């Protein structure tokens, strides 16, 4: 994902089922984020939250809205993999983050569903609290990650809020 010049990090909503001590969302005033009005200017769109998979219907609506304007790759950032196989046909890839050991078994079960993962960009972020994970070869793994203070936004990335087109 490093080869894309203009990236959009799109906040679908703030709700999350975790209370991570170093969550980047605590470093941002998310209510002050502007609403994205034009998806066509980005060459990569990353859907994030909160935890997007808490509301797959919002993911589906966002993808539909984005696809009306662009065919840029859409990557979903999530820690919750239950039901993700139903979302995979709509997106170009996924970045799954394992926060602790409880996340490993559901991830491995999801990662074994090779039919829904073919030709997708697959990334796995593993926090050091989760330990070692033997991910399948088709996953690009970044392991032993730690929380980053103040979560700086990369230079080529814009952070905006999603609002459904009506």
Cβ neighbours, 10 Å, residue 15: 12
pTM flag (> 0.75): yes
Percent of the chain with pLDDT over 90: 63
Q: For residue range 36-67, what is the model confidence (pLDDT) as tens digits?
A: 999 999 999 999 988 999 999 999 999 999 99
Nearest to 148 by CA among 50, 24, 48, 2: 24
Percent of the chain with pLDDT over 70: 92
Distance between CA atoms of residues 38 and 36, nearest Å? 6
Please say whether the beta carbons of 123 and 142 come within 8 A.
yes
Question: HEC profile for 104-120?
Answer: HHHHHHHHCCHHHHCCC
Identify the burial level of 68 via C-beta atoms within 10 angstroms of its C-beta, where 0-12 means exposed, 13-18 middle and 19 or more buried. Answer: exposed
What local confidence, expressed as pLDDT, does residue 51 receive? 93
What local confidence, expressed as pLDDT, does residue 153 receive? 79
Question: Could you state, in order of their start, the residue ranges of all structural domains in the chain?
Answer: 7-161
Question: Coil, strand or helix: which one is 2?
Answer: coil
């Amino acid at each position: 994902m490093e080869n894309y010049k203009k990236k959009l990090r799109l906040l679908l909503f703030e709700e999350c089922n975790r209370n991570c001590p170093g969550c980047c969302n605590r470093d941002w005033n998310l209510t002050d984020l502007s609403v994205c009005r034009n998806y066509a200017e980005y060459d990569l769109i990353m859907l994030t939250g909160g935890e997007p998979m808490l509301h797959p219907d919002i993911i589906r609506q966002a993808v539909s809205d984005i696809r009306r304007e662009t065919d840029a790759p859409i990557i979903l950032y999530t820690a919750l993999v239950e039901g993700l196989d139903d979302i995979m046909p709509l997106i170009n890839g996924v970045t799954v983050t394992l926060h602790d050991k409880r996340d490993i078994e559901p991830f491995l079960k999801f990662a074994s569903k090779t039919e829904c993962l073919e030709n997708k960009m697959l990334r796995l972020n593993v926090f050091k609290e989760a330990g070692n994970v033997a991910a399948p070869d088709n996953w690009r793994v970044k392991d032993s990650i730690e929380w980053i203070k103040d979560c700086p936004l990369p230079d080529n990335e814009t952070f905006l809020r999603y609002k459904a087109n009506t």
